Amino acid sequence: MFSKACEYGIKAAIFIAVNSSEHRRVSPKEISEEIDSPQAFTAKILQALVRNDIVQSVRGAHGGFEIEKDKIATTKLSQIVFAIDGDNIYKGCGLGLHTCDENHPCPVHDKFKVVREELREMLENTTLEQLALDIKSGVSFLKI
Amino acid sequence: MFSKACEYGIKAAIFIAVNSSEHRRVSPKEISEEIDSPQAFTAKILQALVRNDIVQSVRGAHGGFEIEKDKIATTKLSQIVFAIDGDNIYKGCGLGLHTCDENHPCPVHDKFKVVREELREMLENTTLEQLALDIKSGVSFLKI
DNA sequence: TTTATTTCGGATAAATTTATCCTATTTATA
DNA sequence: TATAAATAGGATAAATTTATCCGAAATAAA
């Protein structure tokens, strides 16, 4: 469904959010350990999140990654997915046609529309804050 | 969402179904032209569909690919997807956790469940016949 | 100002997916 | 039985995704 990069990106953002809410910056090393992902690759994905203004980075000693408090509440899952995988997952044609719309639908266009719409809504209605809260309270998990 | 291989496989199966319903066998060349896919790669995918007993092949002169009439009506989209991509798309964890269930959910487990369920239902309730009929009547399209 | 710490970013490698090529095998028919 | 027409399948290549490595740049603190 999502690329590995996107899976790591989502989990990393959640972990950063959890720690930022407790005023702790975290390093790629810490992040990759907590979300069980390759460190250098995760660092690349973090760069993408920084460029897309989803995560803040602080270079140098005592640096690390963090997310502003307001952003934790306002950032949607869709923004993270978009920053890494683009919007093809909930916008593109299910069978890869270049043009696929009501006038020129692929064979699964109508049936797919429902699923894609459900996915889009889910991504747009889920905030980093909600996901981080469940991790903090031990209701959900980032690895294993 | 689906792999390229899976997209080609679905479109190929629909095209074969359309032609089989008119008692015509089709070749990989014809198929790849009609669904706009690379011929040799498509041929590989057809082999997989044959091995999974979704499509029949007839070797030698006047051979080609076909689908038995009953199978057109009973084959579900889910079977084609399963034969090529497996069931990870609607069974696996959205964030790639090895274990992800009610007892040990990933952060998006509950929210994802709805989408995955919708997808699974769609794939299991859509038959090749339905898709082929829309192509025959010019309501939907296999390329462009 | 030097040093230690930390992210940034380019180069490269490994793995997987997508795609091509060529020969073997099968089958109908002349 | 020979030939032509087809699919099967192995080997290989190209493209993309995933992953690693290392030096450059930035920053806090000694």
How far is the C-alpha of B46 from the C-alpha of A2, rounded, in Å? 26
Q: Provide the pLDDT for residue B78.
A: 98
How far is the C-alpha of A135 from the C-alpha of B2, rounded, in Å? 30
How far is the C-alpha of A54 from the C-alpha of A77, rounded, in Å? 10
Chain B contact for A142, CB < 8 A?
yes
Single-letter code of the amino acid located at A131: L
**How far does the CA of residue B135 sit from the closest CA of chain A (Å)?**
7
How far is the C-alpha of A115 from the C-alpha of B81, rounded, in Å? 16
Half-sphere exposure of B26 (CA within 13 A, CB side): 26
Give me the residue spans of the domains in chain B.
4-136
Q: Provide the pLDDT for residue B104.
A: 98
**How much is the pTM?**
0.96
Chain B contact for A144, CB < 8 A?
yes
Cβ neighbours of residue B57 closer than 8 Å, sequence gap 6 or more:
B46, B50, B63, B64, B65, B66
Single-letter code of the amino acid located at B144: I
- pLDDT band with cut points at 50, 70 and 90 for residue B135: very high
pLDDT tens column, A76-135: 999 999 999 999 998 999 999 999 999 999 999 999 999 999 999 999 999 999 999 999
Cα torsion angle, A140, A29, B99, A83, sign = positive
pLDDT tens column, A85-100: 999 998 999 999 999 9
How far is the C-alpha of B97 from the C-alpha of A144, rounded, in Å? 6
Q: Provide the pLDDT for residue A108.
A: 98
DSSP string, B45-96: HHHHHHHTTSSEEE-STT-EEE--HHHHHH-BHHHHHHHHH-SHHHHS-TT-
Show residues of chain A in contact with B2, CB under 8 Å: 94-95
Chain A contact for B141, CB < 8 A?
yes
Average pLDDT, chain A: 98
How far is the C-alpha of A137 from the C-alpha of B21, rounded, in Å? 57
pLDDT tens column, B72-129: 999 999 999 999 999 999 899 999 999 999 999 999 999 999 999 999 999 999 999 9
What CATH code would you report for A4-136? 1.10.10.10
Q: Provide the pLDDT for residue A107.
A: 98
Q: Provide the pLDDT for residue B69.
A: 97
Q: Which residue has the tokens 């009501």?
A: A102
Q: Inspect the interface and report whether the beta carbons of A4 and B96 lie closer than 8 Å.
A: yes
